[in-house]
Chain A
Amino acid sequence: MLVALPPWVPMVISGFVVLNVVIGLVTYITLLERKFAARMQSRIGPYRVGPHGLLQPIADALKLMMKEDIVPTAADRRIYNLAPIVFLIPCMLIFATIPFAPGLGVADLNIGILFFLAVSSMEIVGLFMAGWGSNNKYALLSAMRAVNQIISYDLPFIFSALIPVLLTGSLKLGDIAAAQQGSLLKWFVFYPVIGQLSFIMFIVATLAAENRVPFDILEAESELVAGFRVEYSGMKFALIQLGEYAHMIGSSFLGALLFLGAWSGPGPEALGPAWFLLKMVLMFLLVTWIRWSFVRIRVDQILALSWKALLPATLGLLLTTAVVVVWRTGGF
């Protein structure tokens, strides 16, 4: 006897599952990054905890849980305590619209990409709260930089992400992925000229949106110690870290979906999510590769790069794409 479930129950269950999968993914992608960076630097990386350091992320999480939770006397307690949560929520929410396989996801909204872009830029609120509430000069400077940077790089990020939308003609992430199925050449990264250019711009904007070297002026530990999270310890620090990596994984998923054909790949259809995951990891490693080989650029150079180069370029490319799409569909 089947009991008719109210429609929100599967949503809640799938949301719960995705949330936990993401947290698991975050813990192990940090290990992957550490191993990758270690190999780049002719080191071994985590090795002692478990075979090949496989239990290292768990040990780290346990350590962070047991750390003392310090709140600076002069901090604005409410804002300070709330900031990690405000920061984490948008970073987790972005996974809601990602379809991990045809029909497999929490909610494949018909404005999915819009939701993703809107929510992912909400993390700046948490960042700013953390920077302001800590009552620390380094954190404050970092928060100011964060506002500058996110505002500057959200536009190129959105414009470069909109190019696949134009090519597909739909804002729904499921449709964008579906349009790239069938053959390798249908992936938008292989779309002549426009595909490659927009992919490069997307990577650059992603680096900035994720605050990774060369655009990591927010945490800039050589001058701002640790930036906005300098006063955080224990679980609050872990939440910020979790949010940051979740955001990175989310952006990597988006990049893999928009440009690398999402779940398309050889083999049976059931392998789709595995391909998607693999492409996400590749996107992540690309960003990591850049991170561990570049030096950080200065705040004024970052803003100049965005407003003088990246924004006009993405805007021009978007317009060109629009013209090309109209021309190819015989609109003229």
Chain B
Amino acid sequence: MLDQNKTTRVEMDWSGPERLQMNMGPQHPSAHGVFRAIVTLEGETVVAVDAVIGYLHRCHEKLSETLTYAQYPSIASKTDYVAAMTSEFAYVMAAEEIGKFEVPKRAQYLRVIVAELQRIASHLLWLGTWCMDMGGALGGGATIFLYCIRERELVLDLFEALVGARLLYGFFQVGGTRYDIPDGWAQQCRQTIDVIESRIEEYEQMLEDNAFFLARAKGVGIVSRELALDVGIAGPLLRGSGIDYDIRRNAPYSSYQDFDFTVPTEQDGDCYARYKVRMQEFRQAVAIIRQALDKLPAGPISSRPALKSVAQIRIPKGEAYARVEGPRGEVGSYIVSDGSAKPYRMKWRGASFSNLAILPHIIPGHKVADVVAIMGSVDPVFGEVDR
């Protein structure tokens, strides 16, 4: 109990000489979701960080056992709500692998288009929030954030025209896609990616010519090549540490081998390297979408009949793991099927979860302000971490 007579003291929770324990989260402006970092400070320097997760646990894996293969893709969106298409993608791919379903070429290309659009949308949100972490909601960071949101809206408009929803789509279906693109959509898509490509250059000018931005991003939160491999981080973080690994190229799925794209890597492993990787991924995503729109074959969008009932899709006994390269790295889904219309067991592998494990390795030794910069550069989405 708090002694009311002694309340006029400043409680510092001394746990060592000159040490202060401070909570950052679960409700904190810097947290990209409900993440709690208990940081131990010596002055302004962080000496230890304890990451607490689980505030957004929604029993996703258990939930999938109660939902059919036709229903769950719409719910899979909610694991990583910033890149909803990616999780749907992984789920249907695992189901297709067990059922040995063919996916028509047109559906494969459509999947690639939406996955890459989703990558752009997700990276835009990352760029905005990361700059806001460094620049403040009342500063230049907010300016970049609003620019990025403006461009993300364009992508969301495309998704809205495609499926009618802006955040959680349900576009994927076992055996293909649920919808075909409407008339004029391809043209709208081309215009959108042109706009985004030109705006990306503007952001680069605004940020990379800014000495303060470079001072905040360069040399901060260095992840060495060895550490990256030991911890098992994925996606742009891994490529920012100089490891040339991308599932789209190393284990192509959904016809990624048809497209000509490069996998950007940077050697430094700091926040700036991760930023550079993501900025180049924008351009690669734009290039892939252009090629996919150019080569988009005619034909059916699904190898299976259109959905009429929720239990329509039955998958033979078996188990499979499927993985896709999401905006944050490897997103995988493991399904055990018992032959019914619902999975017997289902497991998610989220990239944010493994990426988050890098934080206690790289944060100690940095200043408090760098904690948010590093956290932002990791780009965690807590729906995917806690599931």
Contacts and interface: CB of A to CB of B under 8 A. Distances in A.
B132 A222 contact: yes
Contacts of A299: 44, 367, 369
Given A223-B371, A225-B28, A292 B22 contact: no
Contacts of B24: 223
A221 B29 contact: yes
A213 B28 contact: no
Interface stretch (A73-81, A100-108, A272-280): A73-81
Contacts of B371: 223
B139 interface: yes
Interface string A1-41: 00000000000000000000000000000000000010011
Interface in A117-148: 132, 135, 137-138, 140-141, 144-145
A144 B18 CA distance: 14
A216 B24 CA distance: 19
A223 to B, nearest CB: 5
Contacts of A77: 8
B28, B206, B210, B369 pick with most chain A CB within 10 angstroms: B369
B140 A291 contact: yes
B136 A221 contact: yes
A300 B4 CA distance: 38
A293 B140 contact: yes
Contacts of B138: 213, 216, 219, 221, 291
A213 B8 contact: no
A74, A137, A295 pick with most chain B CB within 10 angstroms: A295
Contact of A295 (B8, B12, B139): B139
B299 to A, nearest CB: 41
Nearest to A225: B29
B interface residue count range (under 10 / 10 to 19 / 20 to 34 / 35 or more):
35 or more
A296 B370 CA distance: 11
A135 B9 CA distance: 8
B133 interface: yes
Interface in A275-323: 291-301
Contacts of B140: 213-214, 291-295
A141 B261 CA distance: 47
B124 to A, nearest CB: 15
Contacts of A144: 43
B327 interface: no
Contacts of A298: 215-216, 367, 369-370
Interface in B198-254: 206, 210, 212-213, 215-216
Interface stretch (B60-68, B141-149, B279-287): B141-149
A302 to B, nearest CB: 10
Contacts of B206: 293
Contact of B136 (A76, A132, A296): A296
Nearest to A134: B10
A295 B212 contact: yes
Given A137-B20, A222-B136, A295 B216 contact: yes
Given A42-B146, A137-B20, A294-B135, A300 B367 contact: yes
Interface string B359-387: 00000000111111000000000000000
A48 interface: no
B187 interface: no
A34 B289 CA distance: 38
Contacts of B369: 217, 220, 222-223, 296, 298-299
Contacts of A42: 146-147, 150
A295 B20 contact: no
A140 B29 CA distance: 18
Contact of B368 (A40, A223, A293): A223
Determine the main DSSP class of A at the interface with B: loop
Interface in A38-78: 40-43, 73-77
A41 B135 CA distance: 14
Interface in B16-75: 20, 22, 24, 28-30, 41, 43-44
Given A76-B8, A222-B136, A223-B369, A295 B142 contact: no
Contacts of A292: 139-140, 142-143
B10 A132 contact: yes
Contacts of A300: 44, 367
Contacts of A41: 142-143, 146-147
Contacts of A37: 142-143
B319 to A, nearest CB: 43
A224 B369 CA distance: 9
A295 B367 contact: no
B8 to A, nearest CB: 5
A63 B258 CA distance: 60
B210 A294 contact: yes
A140 B137 CA distance: 21
B155 interface: no
Contacts of A76: 8, 10
B115 interface: no
Interface in A74-101: 74-77
A77 B2 CA distance: 16
Nearest to A73: B7
A132 B9 CA distance: 10
Contacts of B146: 41-43
A295 B134 contact: yes
14 contacts: A41-B147, A42-B150, A73-B2, A76-B8, A213-B138, A216-B136, A219-B138, A223-B372, A292-B139, A293-B206, A296-B135, A296-B136, A296-B139, A296-B369
Nearest 5 Cβ contacts at the A-B interface:
A213-B139, A295-B135, A41-B146, A294-B140, A295-B134
Interface of B: 2, 4, 7-12, 20, 22, 24, 28-30, 41, 43-44, 131-143, 146-147, 150, 206, 210, 212-213, 215-216, 367-372
